[in-house]
Amino acid sequence: MIGEWNDAVENDIMQLKRSVIDQMIAKGLNKFILITENVLNFHSSDSEYYEEWYEDIKDDGGWVVSINMPESTKYDFKISHIDMYIRQLESDNWRTFNPAHFFQLIDNKMLRLDSGV
């Protein structure tokens, strides 16, 4: 979805949150999958928009999942404490699923994780 996540220069997360995500949430969407395997650079200005996104959806059982984020970017998310708002999952074969089936796979994983199974 986004090849580089550069919050330090462009504030990409603010643009994504205000221009796209807020409209989706207003239409009732509360579960989001970000394919982040090509997000190689990440510079966080702060976690405000990530926290807001999480707060907007958590009470309705919503979540935000990052798929296949590179280790260096995961590290940047962790030291910025953004990993509190976006779950990190791996899926080697996500391209082989049609979107509805892939969503169901991730939704089931999240249900298991949230229930402690």
- Predicted structure pTM score: 0.87
pLDDT number for residue 71: 93
pLDDT band at 26 (very low <50, low <70, confident <90, very high): very high
Domain-wise residue ranges, the chain: 5-115
* C-alpha span between 54 and 78 (Å, rounded): 16
Reported in sequence order, the residue ranges of 36-86 that DSSP labels E, i.e. its strands, are: 42-43, 63-67
CATH tag, 5-115: 3.30.750.24
Question: Measured between alpha carbons, how far is residue 94 from residues 39, 104, 112 in Å?
Answer: 16, 12, 19
CA distances from 37 to 4, 31, 71 (A): 10, 19, 10
Angle of CA points 90, 63, 69, to nearest 5° = 30
